[in-house]
């Protein structure tokens, strides 16, 4: 029994580390017995098995071995951003949610405050993080694909600008006629003006949309020398391809 407990604990610890470090192919969503889906990331980790969902102001307790949510509770006030920060976070979350719904139909996303969550008004800097995760597994069609992007947005009130840093990881595997695999990563930077929450949300989302579409287009060009049938199956199972990049 002791050995079994050690193995179980080790498995849970390993899965938690893979999720938080992003070493697995996606930042995995965990389902509760409600409609709530919670991304497991270092950005929303409150405790080793508690994760904040800022959109619903709830905290999910997660079993890392089974990858399921075992309990959901309301978030405490001190676990949530101030009303000032929440205005920026919530408006950005709404725009990102619309974008992900168009670009990655089965994708999920969230926006977290990682610095300055207690800022009460103008005059101080803070930072939000956008996380997007999408997976498409079709073993019957010999294809699997996943997409993960993380965008750090520094709101620099003193400079009246936003610094945007993005990290994108795409994994795909097509194994019907041969064995085609993709493990691609990309980093990008941009900036925009510090504006009202609604304007910031639109500007940030458009910036993310531009860089993700540009990167997907570059991937398409890189793999355009593959046979048409191989690339089509490969691309179709990479979340985002068929929605952001026109297929030839």
**Which segments within 101-179 are labelled E, that is strand?**
108-115, 126-138, 143-156, 161-174
**169, 187 contact by CB (below 8 A):** no
pLDDT of amino acid 112: 98
CB atoms under 10 Å from CB of 41, counted, come to 20
The rounded distance, in Å, linking the Cα atoms of 163 and 85 is 17
Tell me if residue 140 falls in helix, strand or coil.
helix
Residues 6 or more apart whose Cβ sits within 8 Å of residue 54: 44, 75, 80, 81, 86, 89, 93, 110, 111, 112, 113
**Residue owning tokens 């405790």:** 47
Q: Which of 194, 151, 175 is nearest to 43 (CA)?
A: 151
Average pLDDT over residues 220-229: 62
Asked if the model's pLDDT at residue 33 lies above 60, the reply is: no
pLDDT of amino acid 240: 54
| Percent of the chain at pLDDT exceeding 70 | 71
Residue 238: pLDDT band (50, 70, 90) is low
Average pLDDT over residues 65-70: 82
Domains of the chain: 2-77 (3.30.1140.60), 81-244 (3.90.1150.210)
Asked if the model's pLDDT at residue 205 lies above 60, the reply is: yes
Average pLDDT over residues 59-67: 85
Residues 6 or more apart whose Cβ sits within 8 Å of residue 48: 16
Sign of CA dihedral 98, 99, 102, 104: negative
pLDDT tens for residues 130-189?
999 988 776 666 677 888 999 999 999 999 999 999 999 988 777 666 677 778 899 999
**Residue owning tokens 């994760």:** 51
Ranked by mean pLDDT, which of 67-76, 87-96, 99-108, 219-228 comes out on top?
87-96
Task: Give the CA count within 13 Å in the CB-facing half-sphere of 143.
Answer: 16
């Amino acid at each position: 029994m002791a050995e079994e407990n050690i193995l179980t604990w080790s498995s849970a610890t390993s899965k938690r580390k893979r999720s938080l470090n992003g070493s697995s192919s996606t930042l995995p969503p965990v389902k509760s017995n409600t409609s709530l889906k919670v991304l497991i990331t270092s950005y929303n980790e409150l405790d080793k098995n508690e994760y904040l969902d800022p959109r619903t102001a709830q905290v999910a307790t997660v079993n890392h071995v089974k990858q399921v949510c075992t309990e959901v509770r309301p978030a405490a006030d001190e676990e949530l951003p101030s009303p000032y920060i929440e205005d920026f976070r919530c408006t950005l979350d709404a725009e990102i949610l619309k974008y992900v719904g168009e670009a990655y139909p089965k994708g999920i996303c969230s926006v977290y405050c990682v610095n300055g969550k207690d800022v009460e008004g103008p005059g101080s800097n803070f930072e939000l993080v956008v996380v997007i995760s999408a997976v498409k597994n079709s073993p019957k069609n010999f294809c699997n694909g996943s997409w993960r992007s993380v965008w750090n947005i520094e709101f620099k009130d003193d400079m009246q600008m936003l610094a945007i840093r993005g990290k994108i990881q795409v994994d795909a595997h097509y194994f019907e006629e041969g064995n085609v695999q993709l493990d691609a990563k990309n980093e990008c930077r941009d900036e925009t003006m510090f504006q009202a929450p609604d304007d910031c949300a639109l500007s940030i989302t458009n910036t993310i949309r531009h860089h993700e579409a540009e990167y997907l287009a570059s991937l398409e060009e890189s793999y355009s020398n593959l046979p048409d049938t191989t690339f089509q199956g490969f691309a179709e199972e990479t979340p985002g391809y068929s929605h952001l990049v026109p297929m030839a």
